[in-house]
Amino acid sequence: MKFLAQPEKEPEDKVTSDVVKLLQEFEVAATECTSQGKRIVLVIDGVDKVEENAKTHLPLHWVPASFPKGVHVILSTVSTHKRSFKELVEVRKLSTLSVLPLTVAMRRDMCQVR
70: left (phi over 0), alpha (psi -120 to 50) or beta: left
57 falls within a domain: yes
| 51 located within any domain | yes
Q: Residue 39 — pLDDT band, cuts 50, 70, 90?
A: very high
Instruction: Say if 8 falls within a structural domain.
Output: no
Instruction: Flag whether the pTM goes above 0.85.
Output: no
The letter for the amino acid at 104 is V
In a domain, 68, yes or no: yes
User: What is the count of structural domains for the chain?
Assistant: 1
Please report the pLDDT score of residue 10 as a whole number: 55
Please write the tens of the pLDDT for every residue from 82-114. Answer: 888 888 889 989 999 988 889 999 999 989 877
30, 64 Cβ separation under 8 angstroms: no
Q: How much is the pLDDT for 64?
A: 84
Supply the range of the domain harboring residue 53: 13-111
Q: Which amino acid is at 33?
A: C
Residue 5 domain flag: no
Q: Other C-beta atoms within 10 Å of 77: how many? A: 21
Q: Would residue 49 count as lying in a domain? A: yes
Instruction: For residue 104, report the phi and psi dihedrals to the nearest 5 degrees.
Output: -60, -40
59 vs 29, higher pLDDT: 29
